[in-house]
Structure 1
Amino acid sequence: MLQQYKTIMVAVDGSNEAELAFKKAVNVAKRNQGKLIIAHVIDTRAFQTVSSFDGMLAEQATEMAKQTLDEYLAYAKEQDCDQITTVIEYGAPKQIIAKQLPQEHHVDLIMLGATGLNAVERLFIGSVSEYVIRNAACDVLVVRTDLENEEVKKAD
């Protein structure tokens, strides 16, 4: 029996890797006649100060996320993907992408871009994709290639 994914979630953060994952997720959703969830998680820990939460930075991040999601939504519609939901969440991206959103939306495939974190950053904060791979209850696909499955050359 052929595996068919009904609800595909792609996590986007504005990076080139996330955009590759998004474009492939659009194709997977179309091919499976499934629902596409485009999710962006704003890491609120980045806005914490010693005394308080910086609301203005959070508002700017939200506005940028909305613009990015609007662009992704327009692209997906141009590609004849018709079941699309966009989601902005606030908190720890690892937990929200791996557990909260998949449970809320009955996701059966999570797609993410390969992270560009270096070894030191991974040691201290860990990669989101690594956490999602280890903790999600559904299938996870980490995208490393473009739409033609060609390796993406990184700028030096």
Structure 2
Amino acid sequence: MAAIKHILFLIGKETYGVEVQYIKGIEKYEEFISIPNAPSYIEGIINLRGEVIPVFSLRQKFNMPKVEPTENTKLIIVKTGGIVIGLEVDAVKEIAEIAEEAIREAPFIIKGDKTKYIQSIANVEDGLCVILNIDGLLDEQEKADLEGLINQQ
């Protein structure tokens, strides 16, 4: 029985996960520089150890209402399609080893072009967890927009 390490985090009351292999780091939330005319899912940019990183709003991507950051708000730094982004999350819960048997393919009804970021569903201690496909978070246009945004800075 193999297990896969995931970072589990909260957006609202829902638990999401990302495989540890995609994580470059977890940072405390910091103020970012707002970018005029940026796509709605980009909160702004931060300078993280000399690297300009867009702050990506999962709440916006998931059509959830915006909330003010708290002391629990974190940035999960990931690399997708050659671009490093900071995923703004409400709280990081834990690093969990999820048994392969506990991970199921996402139901057909929630899979589609607009939900390519849903990789699977996992049973975890306190319920279900949506495992995100980091490479599915951005479509080709969003990747091009982000690359342009980063190159402008």
- What TM-score results when the alignment is normalised by the length of structure 1? 0.28
Compare the two structures and name the one with the higher helix fraction.
1
Compare the two structures and name the one with the higher strand fraction.
2
Tell me which of the two structures has the higher relative contact order, counting C-alpha pairs closer than 8 angstroms and 6 or more residues apart: 1
- What TM-score results when the alignment is normalised by the length of structure 2? 0.28
